[in-house]
Chain A
C-alpha cells in the first residue's frame, strides 16, 4: 500500500476520533487521523480535562475557606490565577502527549492539517488555517502533511464549537467563550454567564468559588434544562446559597460594551432589567463542525447542523461515517468514544449494538456535582410510563456527614410495572463517580430487585444509591 492509502482515515483527533483510531488499529486496519490543531481534541485540550483541573483548584480553595469546619486553620487563603491556569494547561499538555504516545504504540499515522472530502474514498489535506487557541502546537514527529489521501472508509469526527447567538458574539476580550474563560489574563470581579448548561454552571461555579460576583441567565424556565426538574431545583438552591444570582426565563437582548464593563439588557417575565459585569461568558451550547469539510461535494446528508447517521455511524454515502458531536446530541466525549468504537467494529463486521441514547450518562462538575442517566421523571411520564420514584438525601448518609458534605440528593426513576430502572439523577459530593453504578445496572437490565440484593460498601456515598432504590419501593432504611 502506498503511503497515502489507508483502510480507515478519521478526520479529527478528539476523543471520538482518537479512540476510533486505536480500535481500528487493534482490528488490523491501516489507520490515519487528520488533525488540524491538537491531538485529543477540545476534550483534552480545551474542554473536559483542563476545566476539571481548574475546578479541582477551586474545590481545594473551598476547603481552605471551610478549614475551620474540620478543626483546621488556614492563615490566609488566596490563589494565584496564573499558577492555577498553568496547572490546567499542564494537565492538558500531558493528555495531548498521551494521545501521541498511544498513536505511536498502535502505529496510527497522523496527518497534520485540514481535511476536505473530495469524493468517496478520498480527502485532500491542506495546511491548517484555523486560528489556534493557545500557543501553536507543533505537528507530532513523523506526521504526514498536505496532500491527497485515500481510504476505503472515512470517519468524520470533526466535533463542535461554541454556538454564537446574534448580538452575543464573543469578542475574546469582554465576551468570552469557554476558551477565554479557561485562560483569562486577569480574574474578573464580576461575571455574567449566559446559558446554564454544563459549561455555564461549571464556569459559574469556578469563578464564584474564587470570589467573583456571578449571575447566570437562562432563557428556559429551568436551569440545567436537560436535567430532572427536582435536581435542577436542588442545584439552583445550592448555587444561590453560594451567592450566585440566577435568572430563568430570561433573555439577553443586548450587550452594551464599555471599556471595563459590559451591560446586558435582559428581559424577564416581560420586564426589562440590566446587569453589568466585567466579563460575559456565552455558554449557549455548541454546534457541529460540518462546514468546509466537503460534505456537500460527496452528498453527505445533514440536518439542523449535524450529520445524519444510522446509529452505527453510517451516513447516506457509502464509505463515509460520522461520530461524536458532529453526529448529534448528546455532545459528550464518552458518547463520541462509544460511537467511534461501534462504528469501526461495524466496519469490521463485528456484532455491535446501535447507541442507546437513553443510557448515555452525563456529568457536571460544578459544586455540588450533578450526574444523571436515562429518563427524567417528566420524560418518563411523557412516554406514558407509570413510574415509581425513589429519593434519598445525603444528610442520611454517614460518609457524606463525615466528609462535611451533607447536601445532596439521589433520585431514581423506575417503571412501576416492570421494575425497569428508567433513570437516575444525582446531585451532591462525588456523584459523578457514583452514576456509573446505575449505568451498569441499566445496561444489564437489572430491576429494583437486583439493586436491592446488591451489597453496597459501608461507609460510602454509594449507599445513597441503594437507599434511593429502597425508597422507590417504600423500604428506605436510614430516613
Chain B
C-alpha cells in the first residue's frame, strides 16, 4: 500500500510550515534517511528525511507552498513492486481514517515527531534530521500512558511540552509527576497574542482603507506569545549601569592585531559584544544564584552559562541562538562561534537545539546608537542584558571633567529568582570585568 508522507511538526508549537523545496522528483528512488525536502518554520529551515524506502510516487504539495498544515500529506511514497497507479489508493488530503489507522502510531527510527490525528492508511510521520528535537508534536498524537494523560489533565499540565522517558519516548506517570503543575496553563493560547481588545474593535478605531492587514507569520506569533507570556508571568525589574570602555576598546584593538590570518584575512575579529558575552558568562559563574531558572518544583541552578544572543532577521523578526558553556570559551572561540550562529540565524538555518534553552541572554542595540533600553526576559532565562551604544562622554573623575568612552547596559531580572541586591552585586562584578578586561583573558 502506498505510504503518505506527512508534513512534519518540527517543534511543539508548530502548526504549519512552508514547503520550501523538494530535493527528490516524482519517480526518484528514496532510501530511509535520504533528505527529500526542505521545510521552513517560524524559526528555521530544516531538512526532512525519508523513513521508508520506495519510490516518490506523487508530490501532493508543490515546492514554494506556504502554510502547509502539520500532518497534511505532502507526497506519496510507493513501496517496492507498486507502480504509479497505486497512487490513487492513498487518500489525498485529510480524508477519513481507515481501519489500518490504529497501527500508525508506531514510533520510527530516531524521531519523536508523532503520528497524525487523522491517519490515512499506513501513514508515516517524518523524522527530522535533528536528534535534539525530543518533543511530542502538539498537533499530532502524543504518546502518553493513559494514567499520565489523566494526571496531566487533572493538574493542568500541557503534555505537548513534556519529554517522555518511557519506551520510545512515551510520556509516563513519572514524567507528568515531575512536571510543573499548572505551568503551561499560565501561557496564553499558543501561536498568538492574547487579545485585550477584540480585533473588530481595534479596526473600528481606524478609517477603513487607511491600513493594510499583514498576516502574522509564525515567527511573529511566537515572539508575540513568548514576550506576552513573559510580561504577564515574570515580575521584571531593571538596573542600569554605566561602564567605562576605554580599557576594553584598547585591549580589543590589540587582540585583534594578533588574530591569525588566512588568505590575508584575519580568522576572527573580536567585537564589543564578544567581550560582553564573555564578561556576562564569567559574572554569572561567580553569581550562581543568578544563573538559574524558576520552576514551581524548585530553582534550577545551572552549571553552565548558556547565553542567548538576539539576532535580528532581515525583513523582520528575531531569533536568539544560544552560545553554550560560554564561561569555558576564549574570546576568539566566542567570536568565531557567534559569527557562525548569527550567519545561520539570519539564513534561518538554525536547528531547534541551537535556539532553545539557555540560561540568560544579551540584546545589543549599540550599533543603532541607542543610549539606553530595557529588554524582556525570555523564560526560562532569569536575566537579559540590554547593551546600548558606546560613545564618548564627558564624565567626572577625581573632581575633573574628563572624556571617556562610556556605555550603558541594563539588566532585566526575574524577581522570582533574584532580588535587587543580588542583581546589583552582579552588575558590580560585571563592571569589574568590563572596566578591567584583563580578567576576561586570565
Point out residues on A near B: beta carbons under 8 Å.
Answer: 417-420, 444-447, 449-450
A420 to B148 CA separation, bound complex (whole angstroms): 9
State whether A446 touches B146 (Cβ < 8 A): yes
A408 to B221 CA separation, bound complex (whole angstroms): 61
State whether A445 touches B154 (Cβ < 8 A): no
Q: Taking A418-B154, A445-B148, A445-B173 as given, write out 19 further A-B residue pairs in contact, using a Cβ cutoff of 8 Å, ordered by the A residue number.
A: A418-B150, A418-B151, A419-B147, A419-B150, A420-B147, A420-B173, A444-B145, A444-B146, A445-B145, A445-B146, A445-B147, A445-B172, A446-B145, A446-B146, A446-B147, A447-B146, A447-B147, A447-B150, A449-B146
CB neighbours (8 Å) of A420 from chain B are 147, 173
A444 to B150 CA separation, bound complex (whole angstroms): 13
Point out residues on B near A: beta carbons under 8 Å.
Answer: 145-148, 150-151, 154, 172-173
Instruction: Output the nearest chain A residue to B145 by Cβ-Cβ distance.
Output: A445
A11 to B172 CA separation, bound complex (whole angstroms): 35
A327 to B150 CA separation, bound complex (whole angstroms): 35
A447 to B147 CA separation, bound complex (whole angstroms): 6
A212 to chain B, nearest CB (A): 47
Cross-chain pairs A/B with CB under 8 angstroms, 12 sampled: A418-B150, A418-B151, A418-B154, A444-B145, A444-B146, A445-B146, A445-B172, A445-B173, A446-B145, A446-B146, A447-B146, A447-B150
CB neighbours (8 Å) of A447 from chain B are 146-147, 150
State whether A450 touches B146 (Cβ < 8 A): yes
Instruction: Output the nearest chain A residue to B173 by Cβ-Cβ distance.
Output: A445
Nearest first, the 6 closest Cβ-Cβ pairs linking A and B are A445-B145, A445-B147, A447-B146, A420-B147, A450-B146, A446-B146
A450 to B149 CA separation, bound complex (whole angstroms): 12
Most chain B beta carbons < 10 A, residue from A418, A445, A447, A450: A445
CB neighbours (8 Å) of B145 from chain A are 444-446
CB neighbours (8 Å) of B148 from chain A are 445
CB neighbours (8 Å) of B154 from chain A are 417-418
CB neighbours (8 Å) of A446 from chain B are 145-147
Most chain B beta carbons < 10 A, residue from A419, A444, A446, A450: A444
CB neighbours (8 Å) of B172 from chain A are 445
Most chain B beta carbons < 10 A, residue from A420, A446, A449, A450: A420
CB neighbours (8 Å) of A419 from chain B are 147, 150
CB neighbours (8 Å) of B147 from chain A are 418-420, 445-447
A228 to B146 CA separation, bound complex (whole angstroms): 26
A268 to B203 CA separation, bound complex (whole angstroms): 89
A357 to chain B, nearest CB (A): 15
Instruction: Output the nearest chain A residue to B153 by Cβ-Cβ distance.
Output: A418
A452 to chain B, nearest CB (A): 11
CB neighbours (8 Å) of A449 from chain B are 146
A419 to B145 CA separation, bound complex (whole angstroms): 12
Instruction: Output the nearest chain A residue to B151 by Cβ-Cβ distance.
Output: A418
B67 to chain A, nearest CB (A): 37
CB neighbours (8 Å) of A418 from chain B are 147, 150-151, 154
CB neighbours (8 Å) of B150 from chain A are 418-419, 447
A450 to B150 CA separation, bound complex (whole angstroms): 12
Instruction: Output the nearest chain A residue to B148 by Cβ-Cβ distance.
Output: A445
CB neighbours (8 Å) of A450 from chain B are 146
A7 to B66 CA separation, bound complex (whole angstroms): 56
Instruction: Output the nearest chain B residue to A421 by Cβ-Cβ distance.
Output: B147
CB neighbours (8 Å) of B146 from chain A are 444-447, 449-450
Most chain B beta carbons < 10 A, residue from A419, A446, A447, A449: A447
A138 to B213 CA separation, bound complex (whole angstroms): 89
CB neighbours (8 Å) of A417 from chain B are 154
B166 to chain A, nearest CB (A): 8
A238 to chain B, nearest CB (A): 34
B276 to chain A, nearest CB (A): 40
Instruction: Output the nearest chain B residue to A417 by Cβ-Cβ distance.
Output: B154
A353 to chain B, nearest CB (A): 9
CB neighbours (8 Å) of B173 from chain A are 420, 445
A450 to B173 CA separation, bound complex (whole angstroms): 16
CB neighbours (8 Å) of A445 from chain B are 145-148, 172-173
A231 to B148 CA separation, bound complex (whole angstroms): 30
A49 to B147 CA separation, bound complex (whole angstroms): 36
A446 to B172 CA separation, bound complex (whole angstroms): 10
A467 to B150 CA separation, bound complex (whole angstroms): 22
A448 to chain B, nearest CB (A): 9
A299 to chain B, nearest CB (A): 32
A449 to B172 CA separation, bound complex (whole angstroms): 16
B146 to chain A, nearest CB (A): 5
